[in-house]
């Protein structure tokens, strides 16, 4: 087999692998890995398991 053809094949395969790695690394982060998501998860878990009471939010309809 020609050495030039083999070199082109290896380079092409390497570019495909590097391209796939770059495409998968630039995706959005899941919410549970962000700081806001961690705070929400901590709050929802504490409410779910009865450690704290859920917050009451003011309704805009009652502020007339």
Could you read off the pLDDT of 12-45 as tens digits, one per residue?
Answer: 999 999 999 988 887 788 888 888 888 888 888 8
Q: What is the model's pLDDT at position 19?
A: 93
Q: What is the model's pLDDT at position 53?
A: 72
pLDDT above 80 for 50: no
29-42 burial, b for 16+ CB within 10 Å, e for fewer? eeeeeeeeeeeeee
Q: How confident is the model at residue 10 (pLDDT cuts 50, 70, 90)?
A: very high
Q: How confident is the model at residue 60 (pLDDT cuts 50, 70, 90)?
A: low
Please say whether the dihedral angle defined by the alpha carbons of residues 31, 32, 35 and 41, taken in this order, is positive or negative: positive
């Amino acid at each position: 087999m020609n050495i030039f053809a083999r070199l082109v094949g290896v380079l092409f395969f390497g570019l495909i692998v590097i391209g796939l790695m770059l495409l998968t690394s630039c995706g959005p982060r899941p919410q549970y890995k962000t700081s806001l998501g961690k705070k929400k998860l901590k709050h929802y878990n504490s409410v779910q398991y009865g450690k704290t009471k859920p917050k009451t939010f003011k309704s805009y309809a009652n502020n007339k």
